[in-house]
C-alpha cells in the first residue's frame, strides 16, 4: 500500500507541476500576443514616419531646385546690371584702400561713394 500512496503522491505532484506549467504557458502566450500587438503598432508608426520623411525629402528637393533657379536668375541679373558690377568693383577698390575721390573718378556719385565707404571701409571692420 505504501507504494500506491507514493505513486498517488507522485501523480499529484506531476499534476500540480503540469497545472503550474499550463498557467505559465498561458501567461506567456498572452504576453507574446500583447508584444506582437505592440510590434504591429510600432511598425505602423514607423511606416507613417517613413512616408512622411519621403514626402519631406521630395519637398526639400523641390525647394532646392527653386533656390538654384533663383540663384541662377540673380546671377543673370547681376551680369546684366552694370550698376551692380560697378558697385562690386567699387567695393574691391575700397578694400584695397581707395578713397572717396577715386571712387567718384570711377563713375560713382559722391553720395554713393560715401555710403559704400561707410559700409565697406576700414572703419566698418571695427
Parse the chain into domains and list their residue ranges: 81-126
Tell me the whole-structure pTM to 2 decimals.
0.41
What CA–CA distance (Å, rounded) separates 54 from 50?
6
Backbone angles phi and psi of 96, in degrees to 5: -95, 5
- Cβ neighbour number for residue 94 with a 10 Å cutoff: 22
Q: What cell does 118 get?
A: 561707410
What DSSP character marks residue 125? T
Burial of 54: CB neighbours in 10 Å, binned 0-12, 13-18, 19+: exposed
The pLDDT profile of the chain, 126 residues, written as one tens digit per residue, is 688 999 999 999 999 999 999 999 999 999 999 999 999 999 999 999 988 888 888 888 899 999 999 888 887 776 665 555 678 888 999 999 999 999 899 888 999 899 999 988 875 544
Q: What cell does 25 get?
A: 504557458
Question: What is the predicted pLDDT for the residue at 121?
Answer: 82
Q: Name residue, grid cell 533663383.
A: 70
Amino acid at each position: 500500500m505504501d507504494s500506491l500512496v507514493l505513486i498517488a503522491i507522485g501523480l499529484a505532484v506531476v499534476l500540480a507541476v503540469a497545472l503550474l506549467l499550463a498557467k505559465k504557458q498561458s501567461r506567456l502566450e498572452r504576453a507574446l500576443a500583447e508584444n506582437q500587438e505592440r510590434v504591429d503598432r510600432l511598425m505602423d508608426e514607423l511606416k507613417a514616419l517613413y512616408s512622411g520623411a519621403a514626402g519631406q525629402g521630395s519637398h526639400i528637393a523641390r525647394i532646392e531646385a527653386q533656390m538654384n533657379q533663383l540663384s541662377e536668375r540673380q546671377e543673370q541679373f547681376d551680369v546684366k546690371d552694370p550698376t551692380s558690377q560697378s558697385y562690386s568693383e567699387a567695393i574691391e577698390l575700397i578694400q584695397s584702400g581707395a578713397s572717396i575721390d577715386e571712387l567718384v573718378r570711377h563713375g560713382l556719385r559722391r553720395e554713393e561713394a560715401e555710403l559704400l565707404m561707410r559700409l565697406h571701409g576700414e572703419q566698418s571692420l571695427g
